[in-house]
Structure 1
Amino acid sequence: MIGAGVGGLAAAARLAAQGHTVTLVEQAARVGGKLGLETVDGFAFDTGPSLVTMPDELRELFSATGSSASDAGVTLTRLPIACRYTFPDGVTLDLPGEVEQIPAALDAALGQGRGAQWTRFLERSRRIWDLTETPFLRSPISMSTMVRLARKPGDVRAVAPWQSLRGVGSKYLDDPRLRMLLDRYATYTGSDPRTAPAALVTVPYAEQAFGSWYIDGGLYRLAQALADRCATLGVELRLNTRVDEITCGADGVAGVRLDDGSMIDAETVVANADAHQVYDNLLGRRHRGVAAARRRLRRTTRSLSGFVLLLAVDDPPADQAHHHVMFTEDYDAEFDSVFGRRGRARPVERPTIYISAPTDPAIVPGPDTGAWFVLVNAPPHDPDNGTDWDAPGLSERYADSIVEQMAERGVDIRSRIRHRRIISPADLERRTMTPGGSIYGTSSNSATAAFLRPSNRSPVPGLYLVGGSSHPGGGLPLVIMSAKIVADMIGHAGA
């Protein structure tokens, strides 16, 4: 097993529970991958996902490996306010965490009738969810899935594979703020709402139907709990261990070669690594089917990356929401910048700003302090054809700009920042070995994106891919689903 991100940890635990002997190697000094942790002077920051949706996926994972989430030290708390949204016109919406309360909140903040619009939209989203959940999210992706769907014209019309996320939203939502709210969900997959498929309307449905959750003590607790679960199940975990090559024989995978030259023989290899890293760097070009996999990857668009500020805050505002999105005045300009339309990919001058500000005493050194995670969409690190995030002074200047814009939009903490750390796309690339620091691997910027995303079963017999860059995609619940798909493919030892 290569990579101890959530996908690798979840797959390792499942496979060990099935009776397999599992060795898990991780190039970093700690587990978690993109679900990272950084500590500064007693402040603890989650440096990756900051929200849990579809909590039953997490609970099922622990149950399937012989424990429970609570027994493993993962305590889930449902947030009464899923997110605060501040729109360019100054209107603020506190979106309730209970779906039944959302229509009234929309009417109160945005005007009568907005709740009914969103309800009709969610009804369409639920219909698409019901049609796609099992065949597209919980099963290996295949063209036969689309063939089966095509046999029912009504289902095809409901899923509308020819429409974009924004296109289907425009049929239900006439308030530009509601459309902006919907556009935001495309970024959950690192995508552009103008080209992302209509099927992504299932993202807001899942979040609102199943709730927004926080793990007490921070989301990194999940990585720690999964590592503990792996240890209990007998998984051998090797940290600070880098894989240089996936070795293959005539009949398929043979194991891995480490950077110190030693070998680990294996009948099966599961790679929790970016698919570009696997196919371009870890597999030799002589292996059958690898060239075709590389060609498919070249036809995809890399997902957006993120520019992150970790802010240790003294005396934070008492009324600050746990999750807060402050929208840009021009969302299209933001996506143009990030994806390099109308010029090279470049930092967004006035980006949408996301703040995660949990009020959790376990992550701060004392009362009246806060550990804030601030994120803006950013183009991947690409010195040759886009943005060189290592250019002298760029990250510091951009961080200053973001803090100033937070103040302009009503969250002024400039005089309260005790410490500031920056994580640029270039830093993400180095930390996670993900090309350019692309958070989700490939974006969903086309109707065929789901079929171009690398499948869990590679063309090399015995080699499987798990995690956010492979099917079914990025985000904690989908990565956990990915691990289950792979474990089910490999099956029980001796079966």
Structure 2
Amino acid sequence: MGRYTDYEREILSKIVVIGAGVGGLAVAARLAAQGHSVTLIEQAPVVGGKLGVEHVDGFVFDTGPSLLTLPQVLEDLFTAIGGPPMADDLPVRQLEIACRYTFPDGVVLDLPGDPREIPGALDSALGPGRGAQWSSFMERAERIWDATLTPFLQSPIDLRTMLRLSRRLRDLTTIAPWKSLRGLGTSYLSDPRLRMLLDRYATYTGSDPRRAPAALASVPYAEQAFGSWYIDGGLGRIASVLLSRAQALGVEVRLDTRVSEILTDATGVRGVQLSDGSVVDADFVVANADAQQVFNDLLTPDQPGARSAARRLRRTTRSLSGFVLLLALDNPPGDQPHHHVLFAEDYDDEFDAVFGRKGRARPVPRPTIYVSAPSDPAITPDDQTGAWFVLVNAPPHDPAEGVDWDAPGLREHYADQVLDLMAARGLDVSDRIRHRVIISPADLERRTLTPGGSIYGTSSNGALAAFLRPSNRSPVPGLYLVGGSSHPGGGLPLVMMSAKIVADMIGAAG
């Protein structure tokens, strides 16, 4: 379809979508394309949610995801909503080097974007036989991906899903729900650096690899099998393009507007009340907000469904958060790849600190450091500068029982510590910094209304974590959840999958 149709369509239902993150934008566009009347309400003055963008003196920074995986999921979204092809507005390019890894022993691995080249690169960097070990593990990961894609990632999570999975003995044996990601990896990978490489993928869901389920092996499989991609101008452009497409489909967008309550009656939802006291009526409400905020703050305490959902959430572990540095650099190192991970000397100590084991949660003294350094003239004022995004895992903001990231001087001291650690690991840019912006977990909480700044809502810690994550159909009739804190989880592809699940359910109900 090259153009939107302009004929009048019968309105099926009135729908309010709370939150204009990628999940909210995607579900709003899908529902409007189905013929529903959609109002999208966002508390911030801009769209994007955790897919944020920061402009600093001619530099453009993605403050959320900086890597696009499973681009076919984004393509499917644009196909479903119609209009010009995705490539017209969001051309994607595959990275030749998916990521550079610097290990504690000083060994450097450039992991190729082409999966066929990965075994050879592992043998060259880590020693003969490492490629075969990783390939053997990836074969198991592929079987896990195949077993979980349709019945789990692309479908609502409910009792029928659990029963269906439990009856398929072969799939259950493949997924091994009784094993952790690290436990599964240990049975295939003898080199501690390969196990460290695998552990990192647990952080994609804000989790601890020692407790995250073996099913998360599907994450490195998907990244390596389908490639690592980038959008020139930054991934934040996804949100702005989706906004334009949604508006072209007739979605009414209200920015800088806060929902104070989801209104219900004996039959279910009936709309939302805004902070100015006005009411927007709706047949369905879709919340692209943290599930904890939805059930604890946006629904009244006497709503039985909200009480039961809030109790369930209390049984989960919040995901990790992140401490971010945005570095505007003069004359950045010329050989820096798009993504670079500088591993911690003691990964277990990092996870203990972030999740509050062996004491209270605390900033990690020597964390793993993730650097995104896109080679993209669209995000810098000239070709002699760089816009670097630096991230370390961090405990959520929790002044009462964990870390108070607003404590005087903590942000600045920790930022200096991270830069010193980068230098010690061979990536010293301290004398090249023109501007430095710090985003702490407390800042993330304020920006996204996510409790503690927990990036993924709840973690995947524990064998039942996926089933404790809020389902897309809430216990309150007519209320649906979309986004990283609900099924199937966080990250751009899964958030867009959740949008499709919700749109399909409402389409069937309405």
State if a TM-score over 0.5 links the two structures.
yes
**How far off its partner does 1:291 sit?**
1.4
The letter for the 2-side match of 1:448 is L
> What RMSD, in angstroms, separates the aligned Cα atoms of the two structures?
0.9
How many residue pairs match? The answer is 494
Q: Does 2:328 correspond to 1:312?
A: yes
Listed one character per residue, the Cα deviations across residues 194-214 of structure 1 (whole Å, up to 9, x for unaligned) are 000000000000000000000
Tell me if structure 1 keeps the 8 A contact 2:286–2:482.
Answer: yes
Query: Match for 2:193 among 154, 162, 177?
Result: 177
Structure 1 residues 71 and 163: CA distance shift in structure 2, 3 A: closer
Does 2:258 correspond to 1:242? yes
For 1:333-382, what per-residue CA distance to the aligned partner results, in whole angstroms no more than 9, with x for missing partners?
00000000011100000000000000100000011100000000000000
| Equivalent in 352, 356, 374 of residue 390 of structure 2 | 374
- How far apart in 2 are the matches of 1:303 and 1:159? 22
List per-residue Cα deviations over 1:45-72 (Å, max 9, x = no partner). Answer: 0000110000000011011000355355
Match of 1:200 in 2: 216
1:426 counterpart (442, 455, 460): 442
Fraction of identical pairs, as percent? 72
Give the match for residue 6 of structure 2. Answer: none
Structure 1: runs of 5+ lacking an equivalent: none
Q: Which moved more, 1:270-279 or 1:145-154?
A: 145-154
1:122 matched to 2:138? The reply is yes
Q: How far apart in 2 are the matches of 1:308 and 1:152? A: 43
State the distance in 1 between where 2:85 and 2:232 align. Answer: 12
Q: Deviations over 1:391-423 (max 9, x none)?
A: 000000000010111111111111000000000
Q: What's the counterpart of residue 218 of structure 1?
A: 234
What secondary structure is seen at the aligned counterpart in 1 of 2:54?
strand
Among candidates 365, 368, 390, match of residue 381 of structure 2: 365
292, 297, 314: which one pairs with 2:313?
297
Counterpart for residue 482 of structure 1:
498
8 Å CA contact retained: 1:59, 1:68: no
1:387 aligns with 2:406: no
Would the aligned equivalents of 2:325 and 2:389 in 1 still touch at CA under 8 Å?
Answer: yes
Structure 1 residue 347 and structure 2 residue 366: aligned? no
**Alignment partners' CA distance in 1, 2:87 and 2:227:** 22
Q: Which residue among 453, 463, 466 is the counterpart of 2:469?
A: 453
Q: How far did residue 157 of structure 1 move?
A: 1.2
How far the C-alpha of 1:290 sits from its partner, in A, is 1.7
Q: How many angstroms apart in 1 are the aligned matches of 2:400 and 2:38? A: 40
Amino acid at match of 1:423: I
1:161 to 1:61, Cα distance in 2 relative to 1, 3 A = same
Aligned to 1:189: 205
Residue equivalent to 1:77: 93
Residue type at the aligned position of 1:300 = T
Aligned to 2:163: 147
Task: Provide the rounded CA distance (Å) in 1 between the counterparts of 2:435 and 2:47.
Answer: 25
Match of residue 441 from structure 1: 457
1:41 aligns with 2:60: no
C-alpha distance in structure 2 between counterparts of 1:63 and 1:430, whole Å: 34
Give yes or no for the alignment of 1:110 onto 2:110: no
- Measure, in 2, the Cα distance between the counterparts of 1:304 and 1:178: 22
CA contact (8 A) 1:72 1:229 kept: no
In 2, Cα distance between the equivalents of 1:129 and 1:23? 35
Instruction: Report what 2:183 is aligned to.
Output: 167
Distance, in Å, in 1 between the alignment partners of 2:180 and 2:507 is 37
SS of the aligned residue for 1:375 comes to: strand
Please name the residue that 1:253 is paired with.
Answer: 269
Q: Distance in 1 between matches of 2:306 and 2:328?
A: 46
AA in 1 matched with 2:458? T
Match of 2:482 in 1: 466
Q: Which amino acid aligns with 1:206?
A: A
Deviates more, 1:143-152 or 1:464-473: 143-152
TM score, norm. by length of structure 1: 0.99
Listed one character per residue, the Cα deviations across residues 280-301 of structure 1 (whole Å, up to 9, x for unaligned) are: 0000111122211111100000
| Structure 2 unaligned regions, length at least 5 | 1-16
Q: Is the 8 A contact 1:58 1:69 kept in 2?
A: no
Moved over 4 A (4+): none
Q: Deviations over 1:113-160 (max 9, x none)?
A: 000000000000000111110011000002322322222322211110
Whether contact under 8 Å (1:3, 1:26) holds in the other structure is yes
Q: Say if 1:72 and 1:248 are closer, same or farther in 2 by CA, change over 3 A.
A: farther
- Greater CA drift, 439-448 or 134-143: 134-143
Residue 91 of structure 1: aligned partner: 107
1:492 deviates by 6.6
User: Which SS does the other structure have where 1:169 is aligned?
Assistant: helix
Task: Report the Cα distance in structure 2 between the residues aligned to 1:174 and 1:284, rounded to whole angstroms.
Answer: 52
Q: Is the 1:20–1:492 Cα contact (8 Å) retained in structure 2?
A: no
Between the aligned partners of 1:271 and 1:187, the Cα distance in structure 2 is 25
Residue 225 of structure 2 corresponds to 209
Kept in 2, the 8 Å contact 1:57–1:481? The answer is: yes
What is the CA–CA distance in structure 2 between the aligned matches of 1:279 and 1:462, rounded to whole Å?
A: 14
1:302 touches 1:443 (CA, 8 Å); kept in 2? Answer: yes
Is residue 78–residue 86 contact of structure 2 (8 Å, CA) maintained in 1?
no
Higher mean C-alpha displacement, 178-187 vs 141-150: 141-150
Alignment partner, residue 338 of structure 1? 354
> 2:361–2:402: 8 Å Cα contact kept in structure 1?
yes
Q: Give the distance between the partners of 2:178 and 2:333, measured in 1 at CA.
A: 45
Q: 2:66 aligns with which of 41, 50, 57?
A: 50
- SS for the counterpart of 1:130 is helix
Q: Please say if residues 307 and 376 of structure 1, whose CA atoms lie closer than 8 Å, have aligned partners that are also in contact.
A: yes
* Cross-structure match for 1:227: 243
Q: Secondary structure at the match of 2:435?
A: strand
